[in-house]
Amino acid sequence: ATYPGGKGSNQAVAAARLGGEVTMIGRVGADAFGDQLLAAARAEGIDTQFVGIDPDTATGVALIQVDAHGQNSIAVASGANFALTAADVADAFARLDRVDMLVMPLETPLETIVIAAELARKAGARVVLNPAPAQHLSPELLTTVDVLVPNEHEAAFMTGIEIQSRRQDARRAAEQLLRSGPDSVIITMGSEGALIAELAEPAPIFTQAAAFSVDAIDTTAAGDAFVGALAVMLGEGQSLTEAARFASAAAAIAVTRAGAQPSLPTRGEVEAFLRLRTSA
């Protein structure tokens, strides 16, 4: 089956379904996949005026394999994503009336991501960075980040700390990541929940957000569901801990369904899920 996807697109759809007012900045190719992505985004109420159509490069595609346990492996051809320039982003920011939150994965050129983060900070927006696929990032970028959201594999790649003891190793990795620049770090760990680390004096504050127990069918969009939901809740003024609980619920629902964007829940579904879990 073919579905619209890509981390940025999935995170945008996740946020839109949960009530976020979403504008997407990106690039697709002048092809059927690009048409499908744009149509899917518009159907979710996402503003796509800043998604350029590149006549020379194909739309990015990913081949996703899901095993019997719902775990996935993904091969990506980035395509037009890597044609997104700093000038494209600057043009979008110049024309946007208001930006409260900038959410980015690492599926576009790093120099474009750095400029976007700087422009967001100047606009008074918070920057949520999902460092996926994992790369080593400059202090120049990380110091512009409000919330860094890696999974345990990305955190291990960025710090060199293998996260075997989830609680202890994740805490060490989060501390190291905080020292590199962001104001807070949330390391997502699948069925083990998420570790939240916030800068504070004299020492960082750590909170554990428990995962919800569900039967996973397909984990492909779990991280994107989490990031999109987190951004919406933070934009509504919730604390990191409150936002992470809501995001964990969104991710839990997503893994019980097949596909990436088809699995992403609505606001009503997440709220109903949380009511059931709270009253249980």
Query: For residues 26-60, b (16+ Cβ closer than 10 Å) or e, as one string?
Result: bbbbebebbeebbebbeebebbbebbbebeebbbb
DSSP letter at 236 equals: T
Nearest to 216 by CA among 278, 247, 258: 258
Element (H, E) at 224: helix 222-235
Q: Is 224 a catalytic residue?
A: yes
In order of 60, 110, 162, 218, 225, the CA distances from 212 in angstroms are: 32, 34, 24, 15, 14
Nearest to 130 by CA among 154, 159, 109, 111: 154
Q: Which one of the listed residues 54, 169, 218, 224 is annotated catalytic?
A: 224
* 115 contacts 91 by C-beta, under 8 angstroms: no
* 101 contacts 125 by C-beta, under 8 angstroms: yes
Residues sharing a CB contact under 8 Å with residue 237, sequence separation 6 or more, in sequence order:
none
φ, ψ for residue 84, nearest 5 deg? -75, 125
Active site members: 224
